[in-house]
Structure 1
Amino acid sequence: MGEPIARHLIDAGFRVTGVDIAQAMIDLCRQRFPGQAWFQADMRHLDLGRRFDGLIAWDSFFHLTRDDQRAMFPIFARHVVLGGCLLFTTGPTDGEVIGEVFGDPLFHASLAADEYRQLLDRNGFAVVSHVVEDPDCGFHTVWCARKCRDI
């Protein structure tokens, strides 16, 4: 819905391009933040035809299956400029769980930290920071990586 991350970036003067699979979320972002670029798309098949200084997959990436997560790293690499950053959240440990949001079941999956590191490296990223259940970020497990080489 663009809150709080897109709002923070827009308020700081950045242009934002947002993607969500849910059209209702895109419609809400268009209402809240006209003048920004919002696309309804499945991240697993994303090809925007351009690269960005930063890419954020916050509270989204870990809803994919583990195989789909593995397949996302070349997609991330195609969309980030050399020197750009990738910021994403995962679960704290390797595995799959079914959580709950508003009483509805919600799938979560994560790979082992070593596998994320290997996937990042294989796709031209160097880990800048990885914090498991960061209390300063609502106990999210956060990864930040910089694109250090094109593959």
Structure 2
Amino acid sequence: MPTSPADDVISLYQNHADAFARLRGTTLIERAWLTEFLARLPVPSPRVLDIGCGFGVPIARHLIEHGCRTTGVDTSLPLLARAQAAFPDHQWIAADMRRLPLMEPFHGLIAWHSFFHLSPEDQRPMFNEFRRLAASGAVLIFTSGTGLGEAIGEFEGRPLYHGSLDGAEYRDLLEANGFQVLRHVKEDPACGGATIWLAKRVEN
């Protein structure tokens, strides 16, 4: 049984997939950031890993429409089933991002409004996973909170957990794992107030 809101995140998205799909909608407020992400990918027809892909709309759909060979990972089987039905030529994997399977390195990694559902303790080792999954020159984009701590929202009447490190620690973890920060905006007003990191794998 879940013992804290952090433990309950997976079951929330598993049990309320329809509500999430309805509330998420299809408007691509992330377009400007995705345009920059796509422009920086190191090869044509890049392999991109969407971590916490949900039902594949609108982000994975946008990547696919721009020529990315997309692999989506999520823990919600109902959401993955929607993605598989909509985009059968791409790969959709049921897995916890903290325990991702062995995969060929990707040219792009995206964890948009998913990585921040992990506790600070679980976020730190994820940067080693990003390094493992990133080809040389790969681009990483993710959203975070604005400072070290935890925040509890609400989804379908249940607490919805968010965790964050502070900016200096994110920078240190990225650098220690061979990533250079290309751009970072805190609470971007043009993107719904999201705090966004864009980085590139510079170490072979």
| TM-score, normalised relative to structure 2 | 0.71
1:109 maps to which residue? Answer: 163
Letter in 2 for 1:45: R
CA contact 1:134–1:141 (8 Å) conserved in 2: yes
Q: Please show how residues 102-141 of structure 1 align to structure 2 within 5 Å.
A: 102-141=156-195
CA RMSD of aligned residues (A): 1.0
Structure holding more strand per residue: 1
Residue 123 of structure 2 corresponds to residue 69 of structure 1? yes
Match of 1:52 among 99, 103, 106: 106
3-state secondary structure, aligned to 1:16: strand
2:67 maps to which residue? Answer: 13
The worse-fitting range, judged by mean Cα deviation, of 117-126 and 21-30 is 21-30
Q: Could you list the runs of 4 or more consecutive aligned residues of structure 1 that deviate by over 6 angstroms after TM superposition? A: none
Superposition deviation, residue 47 in structure 1: 2.7
Superposition deviation, residue 42 in structure 1: 0.6
User: Within 2, Cα distance between the matches of 1:85 and 1:47?
Assistant: 20
2:97 maps to which residue? Answer: 43
CA contact 1:47–1:75 (8 Å) conserved in 2: no
Letter in 2 for 1:138: G
3-state secondary structure, aligned to 1:44: helix
User: Within 2, Cα distance between the matches of 1:23 and 1:56?
Assistant: 20
Identity of aligned residues (%): 51
Superposition deviation, residue 49 in structure 1: 2.4
Letter in 2 for 1:144: L
Q: Deviations over 1:78-133 (max 9, x none)?
A: 11111110100001222101111232210000000000000000101010011011
Runs of 5+ consecutive residues of structure 2 not aligned to the other structure: 1-54
2:34 maps to which residue? Answer: none
Match of 1:4 among 54, 58, 64: 58
Q: Please show how residues 60-99 of structure 1 align to structure 2 within 5 Å.
A: 60-99=114-153
User: Within 2, Cα distance between the matches of 1:136 and 1:77?
Assistant: 29
User: Within 1, Cα distance between the matches of 2:69 and 2:193?
Assistant: 28
User: Within 1, Cα distance between the matches of 2:156 and 2:191?
Assistant: 21
Structure holding more helix per residue: 2
| TM-score, normalised relative to structure 1 | 0.95
Letter in 2 for 1:53: H
